[in-house]
Structure 1
Amino acid sequence: MRGEGAPAQPGEISGGGSGASGAVPPPGDGSGGGTPKRRGRRRALRWVSSVLSFLILATAAGGYLYYRHLNGSIKTDVLNLGENKLGGSKPNAFGQTPLNILLIGSDARDDAANQALGGARDTFGGPPLADVQMLLHLSADRSNMSVVSMPRDTMLMMPKCTEPGGKVHQASKGLVQTNESLGRGGPGCTVAAWTELTHIPIDHFMMIDFKGVVTMADAIGGVPVCVQQNVESRTRDGKGSGLKLPAGTSTIQGEQALQWLRTRYGFEDGTDLGRTHAQHMYMNSMAREFRKNAKLSNPVKLNSLAQAAIKAMVVDPGLDKIDKLYDLSMELKKVPTGRITMTTMPWVYSTREEGRVEPKPVEAEGLFRMVREDIALDGKGSGNPGTTAPSPGAPSPTAPATAPSQPAAEPATPPAKIAVSVRNATGGKDGAQARVKGRADEVAAILVGKGFAKAQSAQQTGAEDATVVRFSGPGQASDAAAVATALGLPATAVEKSDDVTGIVLFVGKDWRSGSAPALPPPAPTKAPDSARPLNGDDDKECMAVQPGFTW
């Protein structure tokens, strides 16, 4: 007998309490592909721990001033184990810096507590999986927040990851399931995989296991949720979370909260997509409750909750002190719930890996681009009513203490004094086209014509889909930006890299001819419907119940 999240076998029909309809197996629900089977209860506990720990930081920030003694309990790991390091989020024209935080849920069974909560003895001692991955984007002006979830069975090309001790995990030669990134050196490889796919600079990560989740769920005091009909998540053969709620709104906590978050059979079409939507509803509702009722004002309750959260987390070195977590939480707290948008990465079923999914080509990239360019997913733009943007060059009043250090906004060096090395990367990353012969020479000449007298072509080549300017030192950021501006490249085409010396222009597949690179189409102004956006103030959302799972 399998748990709630266990995969259906080919041809299997899920029974219901009173003649349940057959449930469509969720995309990539753990079957095949060499990935260990994981029980739904584990995934739910893992997810709950992620959400609660994050919301504790985001909404009960003041209490952390009392818990400096917890510093020694904070566990850290390397931020990025990959070779593509984008140098952190860059400030906008007003000197304000966005923040991108990757929330990772690990299913590791590395001690007795995690083993007792997770079960599945056959997985004890096995490599951990990153079965929950959510990218949280806090806008530069702190007016809005976007969350992008990636389905755990998304198939990706894995980047090369090198552990601090020197062990190398080579880049994959084929598609690999995204949740396996954690076993390739730790959370730094999960960050590297996201960076490689999305080209979004990730400033921090927070990885959570499921220790302490029950304590945290009880301490919250209750979260309102809604179902359209009476629901009972239980099939004839015993599968299901056991959740039983009457139609309408109920306030759930403790075990019921865990059941809600792990329910697949009984919600919508019985797939993981419905479960994800229910989790987004719960997270938004919890945020509203914290803001409305200040439930964590009790120091004793907050102490217990904070200790459970700290013990369950691993963070990057940039968040290794309570003061840093406090500063981060204060930044998160500035966003009103009405400007929080929860989404799922648009996906399509994979034609190469049965039962798995891949990013939906146009719409997934559009969503990633909105995050890269700090465009609010709710379509309302930036800025709160009544706020005034600071004058250009002024320090940001909301710049977080935990943000990576940024180069000062200094005037660039005169173009004639900026040395630029130009490499031919016109073949693109897939290598489907040959590099255009002599292209580096042609573009170097274009730069010279624009006043960059020290621009020279290099014998070294590259492979880039989009033209990019990389620089090696923080003092070269303004000069690299000047090169990009002269060529009409967007600000996102400027990257810090440890793999170059000085300023290097990689002429990509998008600029195989002509005097200027092709301009990209306008960025989307709102998340696509396929991302299933959910607004943080939407307290009218009510889960549809799967036929056959009512009472």
Structure 2
Amino acid sequence: MAQSEVRGEAPAAGDTMSLKPQASDASAGTGRRKGGRRADGPKTDRRRRRRRALRWSAIVLAVLIVGTAGAGYLYYQHLNGNIQKGRRNSADDSKAHRTQPNAAGQTPLNILLIGSDSRNSAENVKLGGSRDHRGDPPLGDVQMLIHLSADRKSASMVSIPRDTRVDIPRCTDPETGKVYPAVNDIINVSLARGGAGCTLATWQNLTGVYIDHWMTIDFSGVVRMADAIGGVEVCVRQNVWDHPTASVPGGSGLRMTAGTHKVKGEQALQWLRTRHAWGSDLMRARAQHMYLNSMMRTLRQQNVFTDTGRLMNLAEAATKSLKVSEEIGTVKKLYDLGMQLKSVPSDRITSLTMPNLTDPLDSNHVVPDKANADKVWQMLQDDVPFDKNGKDSGAKKPAPGKPAGKPSVEPGRLGVLVQNATRTATEGPVPQRARAIGQALAQQGYVRATADTSGTLSEDRTVVRYPSADLRGDAQAVAKALGIPLNAVKQSTDVSGVTVVVGADWRTGTTYPEQAAPKAGDLPQGSDAVNGSDTTKCMDVYNIYRW
């Protein structure tokens, strides 16, 4: 072949027939032939060498790009392979509903962080104590809901103490298929009754907050993450040593002098697990909040993306340490989550512990302080910031419900079932509550309203349920008759007809009470709130653990 067939490619060095002289070459004296070959001048030689060098540079660069991209892809796949995943929800039902979007179409994001006490590895046994517990189902000793506002400009973190007695729903273990019946027990056992998906369902049913994702981390994961970050600053007011005593066995082993320290590795785990030295499990939650706030400040100050080695270490640690719900089980999705969290200013992050009371059935346990806890849950549902340092996110309050439909029958012909769901963890059901509301309905013309006598239920909020779209108008009319807002009218396959479920928010009276809308920063008493920008907080040490 006398000439290259590749468009734009220079002729081969020996392809003399394809080198046609140009007019400019003749006038410059560089295009003449000697002995049948072209005699090029020094400028042409330099141009040819430059073209050849550029061509080889382009080839080498292309090889490097492809090779690097291939290695990057393989590393990305390696990181994805590190991540353990599980089913988001392992319960049969949920009482939670998503918060309505704001004017920009944004919705809040809720992530449940669970610290597992699993000892099912040599590493965890070494870090977490007794070998006798190796093989036992893990317990969720740390449980914290992270709420990102719809506009991603504020964040709230809420802990529930591990010894809080709650209703745990019926759950199915997604790995074994074992079914666990509903039970009233302390919340940390929910992890052993169907995995993180059961803990998520327990939280949803308790709070009414829809939870998008869960993440779990065990002892060894905490150590890896603390090391990858480079340490987290914490503070104690007195010298502390959390060690066994004559009356109280166990202890985390945390030992440090008064003041501020940067903890990493095993010492970070000791800080998060310390309970006795702080005086109670509630104070342990405060120490955990302080740690997380400090960690977020540290990450905001660091720019790991300019340090390839640190970025890789952090990526390795994170993907090896976390087990996540399957819908966020990729590096990209975890990275996006991290960037959203990192973008929140420190003074717009507020952490607190669920307001609680001593359990009347067991002084070693606690139960939700219903009125104050409900206020916290309402703020999360309505996307109301825990702080007063910025504007409202713009998220809407609960939607007004679907437009009123036309009832299918006259009130006197409609069968309505009324259920008593006023029982709470601290209070028994209000006697004859379903009967009283049924009578109120009868006075409004719903003479076929009857009270369900099969037993009492537990619902935080009153709701009117209906089974199919043709009964929506009837259900809305029943709600209107009782003063119940339309956003509390829900379609559900759990009922066979229009059903009024009288919740714990309506224990007296026959007209549904109006609910006051919560305001930003208006936190209830007993929440022990800590702002993320507060660097002055230090933990007080219980007397017998000072040295």
TM-score (norm. length: structure 1)? 0.70
2:9: which partner in 1? none
Query: Using a 3 Å threshold, how does the CA distance of structure 1 residues 228 and 514 change in structure 2: closer, same or farther?
Result: closer
Amino acid in the other structure paired with 1:314: K
Query: Using a 3 Å threshold, how does the CA distance of structure 1 residues 491 and 214 change in structure 2: closer, same or farther?
Result: farther
1:434-456 Cα deviation digits (max 9, x unpaired): 364596697599699xxxxxxx9
SS at match of 1:205: strand
Counterpart among 100, 121, 136 of residue 146 in structure 2:
136
Equivalent residue runs for 1:421-436 within 5 Å: 423-430=416-423, 432-434=430-432, 436=434
**Number of paired residues?**
459
Asked if 2 retains the 8 angstrom alpha-carbon contact of 1:99 and 1:139, the reply is yes
Gaps of 5+ in 1: 1-62, 393-405, 449-455
Distance 1:476 1:299 in 2: 60
Counterpart among 537, 540, 544 of residue 536 in structure 2:
540
Larger radius of gyration: 2
Asked if 1 retains the 8 angstrom alpha-carbon contact of 2:221 and 2:317, the reply is yes
Counterpart among 397, 413, 416 of residue 406 in structure 2:
416
SS at match of 1:192: helix
Distance 2:470 2:323 in 1: 32
1:343-395 Cα deviation digits (max 9, x unpaired): 111222222113222222322222222222222222456438xxxx59x9xxx
Distance 2:400 2:280 in 1: 52
**Residues 1:506 and 2:500 aligned together:** yes
1:228: which partner in 2? 237
Deviation at 1:103, TM superposition (A): 1.0
Choose 327-336 or 487-496, whichever is displaced more. Answer: 487-496
Equivalent residue runs for 1:423-502 within 5 Å: 423-430=416-423, 432-434=430-432, 436=434, 463=457, 465=459, 466-470=461-465, 489=484, 493=488, 497=492, 499-500=494-495
Query: Using a 3 Å threshold, how does the CA distance of structure 1 residues 550 and 417 change in structure 2: closer, same or farther?
Result: closer
Counterpart among 294, 308, 315 of residue 317 in structure 2:
308
1:251: which partner in 2? 262
Query: Using a 3 Å threshold, how does the CA distance of structure 1 residues 135 and 459 change in structure 2: closer, same or farther?
Result: same
Asked if 2 retains the 8 angstrom alpha-carbon contact of 1:412 and 1:479, the reply is no
Query: Using a 3 Å threshold, how does the CA distance of structure 1 residues 487 and 224 change in structure 2: closer, same or farther?
Result: same
Amino acid in the other structure paired with 2:527: A
2:522: which partner in 1? 526
1:270-325 Cα deviation digits (max 9, x unpaired): 33333332222121111111112335642222223222322232222321233332
RMSD of Structure 2 on Structure 1 (CA): 4.3
Equivalent residue runs for 1:51-200 within 5 Å: 67=76, 69-86=78-95, 88-94=97-103, 95-164=105-174, 167-172=178-183, 175-200=184-209
Higher RCO, 1 vs 2 (CA within 8 Å, ≥6 residues apart): 1
1:465-524 Cα deviation digits (max 9, x unpaired): 5321457799999999999799764586355755358x9553525679988522235546
Deviation at 1:534, TM superposition (A): 0.4
Distance 2:237 2:384 in 1: 33
Asked if 1 retains the 8 angstrom alpha-carbon contact of 2:441 and 2:481, the reply is no
SS at match of 2:362: coil
1:151-180 Cα deviation digits (max 9, x unpaired): 1111123222234565332222xx412111
Asked if 1 retains the 8 angstrom alpha-carbon contact of 2:79 and 2:316, the reply is yes
1:5: which partner in 2? none
SS at match of 2:112: strand
Distance 2:313 2:431 in 1: 59
Amino acid in the other structure paired with 1:259: Q
Instruction: Indicate the percent of aligned positions where both proteins have the same amino acid.
Output: 43
SS at match of 1:67: helix
1:291: which partner in 2? 300
Amino acid in the other structure paired with 2:313: S
Asked if 2 retains the 8 angstrom alpha-carbon contact of 1:463 and 1:508, the reply is no
Query: Using a 3 Å threshold, how does the CA distance of structure 1 residues 221 and 418 change in structure 2: closer, same or farther?
Result: farther
Amino acid in the other structure paired with 1:427: N
Asked if 2 retains the 8 angstrom alpha-carbon contact of 1:426 and 1:507, the reply is yes
